[in-house]
Amino acid sequence: MKGLYVRQSGKLVMAVALTLLSVSISAQVLDSPVATVRLSSTEVITQRSLKQDVQRYEEQLGRALTVEQRREVLDAKINEVLLKQGADRANVTVADSEVSEVLNQQKAQLGAAVSDEQFRRLLEQQTGMSYADVFEQIRRTLVQQRFLAESKRDVINPPGASSRLPAPSEVRKVYEENQTNFINPAMSGFTHIFFDSRNLSEQEKSELLARAQAKHDEIAGGKTSFQRAVNAAMDDSSVQAGDFGYIVRGDQQAMALLGSSFVDAVFALEEEEVSEVIESNIGYHIIKVTDKRAPRLLEMDDPIYPGQSLTVRMQIIQYLQQQKQQERFQTALQELIGELREDADITIFEERLNW
């Protein structure tokens, strides 16, 4: 009985070994290389990783990619490997602090109310990656950008390029082709006396509203002028006053902050008119409209926004300069990739683009 058991056990071991070998072979088939790339080291691009990228593009486009389009995706992956290995070979690095600076700039665009933890969760939700993976992805992008800038400095920024202005005819052409896009919407600028009700109890809000109403009654009854009330409020730490700036009709950010009823109330006032007490999402206001503007098309030398120095002409010049810069950047990138491809050993298994 013991010998029989041993022999059966041997068969069992052999069966397990064959099963493991089968699994290993299956994994290799599933992970068949679709390309190998060697510049400073050999890197394999597997069919599985290519399929994942192709699937993401197909989900975005809502259709299947052709074999030629799959090859384009593969070429992009090869280029990414070449840029990474080229940067490694050139000892191009990016410090953690530089990556953090990029992330902090992105966080700042969301407003001061977003905490570090909320920002991390938002990044993970939007990218489908862990925060650590996002961090490293940004590092890789910065490394590639620095490698390109250092390798093709004369192509990206040739002498005199930054000071070279587009021809007046180019500026005029862009303006005329996009004239209907250069428009100021309806907007109202105003000065206000503001009673902040945030973080107050209902009782405190009622008391604050009574104070605001009393101040309005003083102005309306002629005991003081609106401007004198503004000046006095500037010396009162419990009240805020001064120039608010402009509210633009349809500004979603303003409506989210202040409330659509407040925005509507502002636009209902005429220029130089002093309001009743108006409630917003953040408190109570007494406002005086100082500038009321109807929608209008902008001329070439009009400011983009009231009170700003940037004109339509200046914005078009900046756009054309950025367009030229982007063209030089793409030229430099194609030159660099071409040089890296000439220096690299690349094998592509074309038949594995069909699945």
Backbone angles phi, psi at 246, to 5 degrees: -110, 145
Query: 58-116: per-residue pLDDT in tens?
Result: 999 999 999 999 999 999 999 999 999 999 999 999 999 999 999 999 988 876 567 88
Query: What secondary structure does DSSP assign to 15-57, as a single string?
Result: HHHHHHHHHHHHHHHHT-EEEEEESSSEEEEEHHHHHHHHHHH
**Domains of the chain listed by start with CATH number:** 2-74 (no CATH), 186-294 (3.10.50.40)
Average confidence (pLDDT) over 124-153: 93
Query: 271-313: per-residue pLDDT in tens?
Result: 999 999 999 999 999 999 999 999 999 999 999 888 789 999 9
pLDDT for position 113: 60
pTM check: above 0.85: no
Q: Is the dihedral of CA 241, 243, 246, 251 positive or negative?
A: negative
Strand pairing report for 187-196 and 240-248: antiparallel
Query: 11-35: per-residue pLDDT in tens?
Result: 444 444 444 444 444 444 457 999 9
Could you tell me what percent of the chain has a pLDDT over 70? 91
Query: 165-218: per-residue pLDDT in tens?
Result: 999 999 999 999 999 999 989 999 999 999 999 999 999 999 999 999 999 999
Report residue 74 as tokens.
């593969």
Query: 209-249: per-residue pLDDT in tens?
Result: 999 999 999 999 999 999 999 999 888 888 999 999 999 99
